[in-house]
Chains A and B, each alone.
Chain A
């Protein structure tokens, strides 16, 4: 019995009921889950599950640059590493970084760099390591969303968040948030990122055929979808701290002065001993 999973995509991507293969509407997003502070040894980290995508991002720095000649005396530098694990796609991916990975690392860096205050850290480097555990279309968008969360968690000063999503065209219809199959056999793919502090486009790539009207309509749909994802990002960043507060909300402190600690301990000990005797 073969253990290989066949990598075939169906002919029709939109069913007769007007829904997509995974049952979504044309402008519906896949379920998204984000978490911050998942890697204890990193200075900042984040995790995202976006449909079938599972991505970790870890931030280290600002720290010293090696090799030293890469350092800039007037500003810090940003390095991003987009890597896919060998098991993230249906056929084994060779682990060496290829042309595609280098390109995506570069575009993520170019999208993120303008919002960071790297001039506060001259002669140093901030490194973002993005590992894709599972890939299912639109990984570069997921990577941008998760990388900015990890940077915010690391305490790197920034003007605002960045959010990304891909639009596309499948069977002559405009869709939002392409899945893996739609990415491969669709007619067009349009990943787009927006930096929210000035509402400008941070990333725009295009592949396929679309007319100008469709393009404009896609951008409108993208902005609508990005607003939703942005809210999830904001929640994820705050959740880490709000959870602790909520947990402590019903806590009623007993006021104890340091003078009567010993009495308190003695009485507690007695209580415990009594309690212990009863249970035994």
Chain B
């Protein structure tokens, strides 16, 4: 769900992509086309597995789903909310099938851990965060059978003390980012807000005032409902300008 997806949501596309439903025949030409993501081969046909948009890239027929859950992938930065803790680990709701596990040793830099004068195990408690805290974490380990392992060591990672958290369907996240980050830059510039978009469908925002934050939230929900349409960036620009005038924000 990274660069490739963002490319597929081509903002400059002239034509709306076809909406397909599960079981719909995408192609009967198996010599020239291969089933890609979101599709399968049934007899001598390629059929769709999701409600989504049909996209043909080279000789692959793909379907981008419009709804669905987030599947944790190694290296993703996600926003989690602590739902439980015990003396050795925190459990984080990361909007996926399983909760993520964050261990105290993964919240401290390696250099800090062995500093002189620190008693052994000083960082091995879970007193640092409490239930309900919002953290930006990175997934260090994820597969189909185990709970994802998380870390807070890295750039932009750690606890958020302020700001707002909103949620949209994870498949629509590429549209918030836009092609090469065009949409997110537009939002940042026009609303003066800090935005952190993560692949699990959660967006953390912080603006200099309440009005700008609310405008940004409304804009994101507009993008969410119109994610499958073309010419979105221009429309969003217009929307923000009009709303600013209407609400009296400068």
- A: residues with CB less than 8 A from B are 43-44, 61-64, 73, 117, 120-124, 152-161, 196-198, 234, 237-238, 241-242, 244-245, 248, 251, 253-256, 258, 261, 264-265, 268-269, 272
Contacts and interface: CB of A to CB of B under 8 A. Distances in A.
B159 interface: no
A253 B189 CA distance: 19
Contacts of A154: 67-68
Contacts of A157: 22, 38, 49-50
A43 B235 contact: no
Given A256-B238, A258-B190, A261-B190, A159 B244 contact: no
Contacts of B195: none
A241 B145 contact: no
Where chain A touches its partner, the secondary structure class is mixed
Contacts of B235: 248, 251, 253
Interface of B: 16, 19, 21-24, 38, 40, 42, 47, 49-51, 65-69, 97-99, 144-145, 171, 186, 189-190, 225-226, 228-229, 231, 234-235, 237-238, 241-242, 244-245, 250
Nearest to A271: B245
B23 A155 contact: no
Given A242-B19, A256-B237, 17 more contacts: A62-B69, A122-B145, A152-B22, A152-B50, A153-B67, A155-B51, A156-B68, A157-B22, A197-B47, A237-B51, A245-B228, A255-B234, A256-B241, A258-B190, A261-B190, A268-B241, A268-B242
Most buried by B among A121, A155, A248: A155
Where chain B touches its partner, the secondary structure class is loop
A155 B16 CA distance: 21
A43 B226 CA distance: 19
A241 B241 CA distance: 26
A64 B47 contact: no
B97 A121 contact: yes
A113 to B, nearest CB: 15
Nearest to B49: A157
B145 A160 contact: no
Given A124-B97, A241-B228, A258 B241 contact: no
Contacts of B38: 157
A269 to B, nearest CB: 6
A73 B144 CA distance: 10
